[in-house]
Amino acid sequence: MKIIMLGAPGAGKGTQAKKIAEKYAIPHISTGDIFRANIKEGTELGKKAKAYMDKGELVPDELVCDLVVDRISQADAKNGYVLDGFPRTIPQAEALDAALEKINEKVDFAIDVDVPDDNIINRMSGRRACVSCGGTYHVEFNPTKVEGVCDACGGKLILRDDDQPETVKNRLEVYHAQTQPLIAYYTEKNILKTVDGTQDMAKVFTDIVGILEV
């Protein structure tokens, strides 16, 4: 079961990807997690990625493609995986398809978690991230027990630069220009499925499971 999660930044596709990975015992592969780990460790790749992410821009293809293909070739992904945050552009999708074709594989589902822009701006400005462990919360939908303090490690919570309203608007513009064309790309391949991401998170997940288990 090879799944790609689509949707604007803040649509909730990462949350759903984790739930899918857990239910079907397949790895959740998030380029965001890979980048954040590199940023935290101060690697060269991390510094380059951070410069783009802080401005709400996409990280260039060459920093991403090989990393992802290498990851999905690992043993824990032999029964499938959930890709979250990749591909983001048509060239990335084509590169992924070509790489999979070489090993006689293909993507089974592209699931689009559909949420209007206004909802996303409200959602993301309420997100908080732990500076220590990277855990994420939301002041309204997923608050911590103690305000400003991470439930998992007791670290301090912050509003990340890329969750600031102006940056979110920029990210949405980039998404509509560069990533939204993937919806047409995967529709043409007959693997696109759309779910209403404005619903309760549990209902969104139920809808996704319904698609995967048809």
Q: pLDDT tens, 83-122?
A: 998 998 899 999 899 888 988 889 999 999 999 999 998 8
118 touches 11 (CB < 8 A): no
pLDDT for residue 84: 92
Q: Is 160 a catalytic residue?
A: yes
Confidence at 27, pLDDT banded by 50, 70, 90: very high
What is the DSSP secondary structure assignment for residue 199, as one 8-state letter?
S
**Which member of 2, 19, 127, 128 is catalytic?**
127
CATH of 2-116+178-212, one of 3.30.460.10, 3.40.50.700, 3.40.50.620, 3.40.50.300: 3.40.50.300
**What pLDDT is stored for residue 49 in this prediction?**
83
Q: What is the pLDDT of residue 106?
A: 92
Q: Which of 18, 40, 55, 160 is catalytic?
A: 160
Phi, psi of 158 (to 5 degrees): -135, 160
Is 13 noted as a catalytic residue in this protein?
yes
Q: Is the pTM of this model over 0.85?
A: no
pLDDT-derived band at 46, boundaries 50, 70, 90: confident
Chain centroid to CA 214? 24
Is 171 one of the catalytic residues?
yes
127 included as an active-site residue: yes
Tokens (6 digits) for 183? 């919806």
- Which entry of 50, 88, 123, 128 is annotated as an active-site residue? 88
Sign of CA dihedral 166, 168, 174, 180: negative
Q: Checking DSSP bridges between strand 81-84 and strand 28-30, what pairing results, if any?
A: parallel
- Catalytic residue among 2, 13, 36, 50, which? 13
Cis peptide before 87 (omega within 30 of 0): yes
The domain segmentation of the chain, as residue ranges, is 2-116+178-212
Active-site residue, selected from the candidate residues 2, 123, 128, 171 = 171
Let me know if 36 is a catalytic residue. no
Predicted pLDDT at 191? 97
Structure tokens at 33: 């997690």
